């Protein structure tokens, strides 16, 4: 029997027989980008558009833009381009509504709609033509990916980074004095963190041990009111770090409520210590776990708070991390425009990053770590091919982060599964399953289960069935066989 020719649902172009998507490449890129189209000069010269711009009222501009577009654009679609909800667009467009005046928002909206800069009453930070350079039609994702890899190379070869760290003002040979109590807490924290990164939070009695230490040793230290202010601030910071590690361990064994409580405690201790860097780190951790647990609005809110605090800290690594976490929250909501704006901020911060320029607890941050975050963002935007490139780069991590290697290997497998590359996806997923034998992590199991779900459409394939058997043996849930 002759196979029926498949055609793109959008433009009608003929599709290859082995293509998974129901859209051709060009149409799929448009769907993924979810961006406002370029408009001709005659569009911007329309009377309603000109009146809105003369009134300096973006709410009126939104309404005029939607009416003048052919076909008309809905408030929901416009909101997706702008990173707004339909209700927010409606409120801004309402008769009598005050014109929005936040320049950060105006700048972002102008760029999203590609409003010609000459028509605006303010200067925008960049234009689409500037991004494209010579005028070639290069997608924003590709521009950002190219810039990221270039800046990643600069960051990896930076020298003199230790001169920019928090302790740069301390003279060589004159280390800042610390109390014995603080040193003990920091040493215990380092031990728990190292075990957590290597073996996962589920390693032998980790939760009980760290909880007992916090209760029996750290809590009494914090109640001691005889310490001088400087010594107390150091102890508060050290305790915040330990509470954070306890939070990660709790999340790793599936106790989300305990994890959230520990992170809240860590945030409060950081604030009491007056440590902006630690405060930003705790807010970033909260954003990360909100995204993991399917609460993208909370993830964005926490990331925005982390961005504000990280700017006060002056640490480029924290600024880059907070920005990419915001991007992930927007990606999960489908707010592509806001997502790309945050990704660009992450890139700008990464350009300023120097390895070693920061406290010891920030040593996990590098190009591989940020690549994993970018991979999550692009995967959750539906751009699996872009995500794959970042996922592969994320595997260039240092030794001692076996749990992260498990996560990132499963992440790579998920990007391959989304592209219909079943054999490669199964190979990577099987490698991650083998890693799970030595890393006890509920989150690791969740990453693997997600790969299994993405391979669900191919469950009849013998390679997928073999992978599911490996997952079942490792205690990872798999899709129900049909």
Q: How confident is the model at residue 151 (pLDDT cuts 50, 70, 90)?
A: very low
In angstroms and rounded to an integer, the radius of gyration of the C-alpha atoms of the chain is: 25
Q: Which are the contacts of 65, defined by CB distance < 8 A and separation ≥ 6?
A: 49, 73, 78, 113
Q: How confident is the model at residue 25 (pLDDT cuts 50, 70, 90)?
A: low
Continuous H helices in 293-315: 296-313
Per-residue pLDDT, 297: 92
431-451 as b/e: b if 16+ CB within 10 A: ebbebbeebbbebbbbbbbeb
User: What is the C-alpha to C-alpha distance for residues 344 and 112, in angstroms, rounded to an integer?
Assistant: 13
* Position 463 pLDDT exceeds 90: yes
Please give the residue that has the higher pLDDT: either 208 or 416. 416
First vs last C-alpha separation in the chain: 26
Q: Which are the contacts of 454, defined by CB distance < 8 A and separation ≥ 6?
A: 414, 417, 418, 425
User: What is the C-alpha to C-alpha distance for residues 52 and 99, in angstroms, rounded to an integer?
Assistant: 10
Bond preceding residue 71 cis, omega within 30 of 0: yes
State which of 199-208, 222-231, 253-262, 288-297 shows the largest mean pLDDT: 288-297
Output the CA–CA distances (angstroms, integers) from residue 259 to 200, 253, 298, 363, 426, in the order listed: 14, 9, 16, 22, 32
52-63 per-position pLDDT tens digit: 999 999 999 999
Query: Treating both helix axes as pointing N-terminal to C-terminal, what angle do 75-82 and 336-351 enclose, rounded to 10 degrees?
Result: 0
Mean of the per-residue pLDDT values for the chain?
80
* Position 482 pLDDT exceeds 60: no
Q: What is the pTM of this model?
A: 0.61
State which of 71-75, 232-236, 342-346, 356-360 shows the largest mean pLDDT: 342-346
Per-residue pLDDT, 135: 36
Please give the residue that has the higher pLDDT: either 103 or 370. 370
Contact 443, 407 (CB under 8 A): yes
- Token couple for 10: 């959008």
User: What is the C-alpha to C-alpha distance for residues 152 and 320, in angstroms, rounded to an integer?
Assistant: 12
Per-residue pLDDT, 186: 84
Q: Which of 329, 342, 335, 268 is nearest to 298 (CA)?
A: 329
User: What is the C-alpha to C-alpha distance for residues 482 and 459, in angstroms, rounded to an integer?
Assistant: 8
Q: How confident is the model at residue 146 (pLDDT cuts 50, 70, 90)?
A: very low
Please, what sign has the CA dihedral across residues 433, 438, 440, 443? negative
Mean pLDDT of 334-358: 88
High-pLDDT (> 70) share of the chain, %:
81
Output the CA–CA distances (angstroms, integers) from residue 28 to 113, 364, 384, in the order listed: 20, 35, 11
């Amino acid at each position: 029997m002759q196979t029926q020719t498949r055609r793109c649902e959008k433009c009608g172009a003929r599709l290859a027989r082995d293509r998974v998507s129901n859209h051709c490449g060009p149409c799929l890129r448009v769907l993924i980008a979810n961006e406002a189209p370029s408009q001709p000069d005659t569009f911007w010269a329309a009377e309603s558009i000109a009146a809105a711009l003369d009134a300096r009222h973006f709410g009126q501009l939104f309404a005029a833009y939607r009416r003048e577009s052919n076909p008309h654009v809905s408030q929901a679609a416009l909101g997706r381009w702008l990173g707004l909800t339909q209700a927010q667009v409606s409120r801004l467009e309402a008769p009598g509504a005050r014109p929005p005046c936040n320049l950060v928002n105006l700048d972002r909206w102008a760029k999203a709609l590609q409003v010609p800069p000459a028509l605006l009453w303010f200067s925008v930070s960049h234009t689409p033509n500037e991004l494209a350079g010579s005028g070639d039609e290069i997608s924003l994702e590709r521009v950002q990916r190219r810039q990221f890899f270039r800046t990643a190379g600069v960051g990896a070869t930076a020298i003199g980074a230790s001169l920019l760290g928090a302790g740069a003002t301390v003279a060589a040979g004159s280390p800042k004095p610390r109390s014995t109590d603080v040193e003990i807490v920091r040493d215990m924290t380092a031990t728990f963190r190292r075990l957590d990164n290597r073996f996962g939070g589920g390693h032998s009695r980790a939760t009980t041990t760290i909880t007992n230490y916090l209760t029996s040793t750290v809590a009494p230290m914090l109640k001691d009111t005889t310490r001088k202010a400087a010594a107390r601030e150091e102890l508060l910071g050290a305790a915040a770090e330990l509470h954070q590690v306890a939070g990660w361990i709790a999340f790793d064994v599936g106790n989300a409520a305990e994890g959230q409580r520990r992170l809240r405690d860590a945030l409060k201790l950081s604030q009491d210590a007056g440590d902006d860097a630690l405060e930003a780190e705790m807010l970033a951790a909260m954003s990360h776990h909100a995204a993991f647990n399917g609460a993208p609005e909370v993830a964005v809110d926490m990331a925005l708070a982390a961005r504000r605090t990280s700017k006060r800290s002056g640490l480029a690594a924290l600024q880059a991390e907070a920005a990419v976490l915001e991007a992930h929250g927007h990606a999960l909501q489908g707010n592509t425009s806001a997502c790309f704006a945050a990704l660009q901020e992450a890139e700008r911060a990464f350009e300023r990053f120097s390895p070693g320029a920061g406290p010891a607890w920030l040593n996990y941050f590098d190009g591989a770590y940020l690549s994993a975050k970018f991979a999550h963002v692009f995967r959750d935007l539906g751009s699996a091919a872009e995500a794959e490139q970042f996922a592969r780069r994320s595997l260039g991590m240092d030794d001692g982060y076996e749990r992260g290697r498990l996560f990132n290997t499963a992440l790579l497998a998920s990007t391959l599964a989304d592209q219909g590359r079943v054999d490669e996806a199964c190979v990577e997923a099987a490698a991650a399953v083998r890693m799970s034998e030595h890393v006890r992590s509920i989150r690791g199991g969740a990453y693997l289960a997600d790969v299994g779900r993405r391979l669900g459409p191919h469950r009849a394939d013998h390679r997928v069935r073999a992978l599911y058997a490996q997952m079942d043996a490792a205690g990872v849930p798999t899709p129900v066989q049909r």
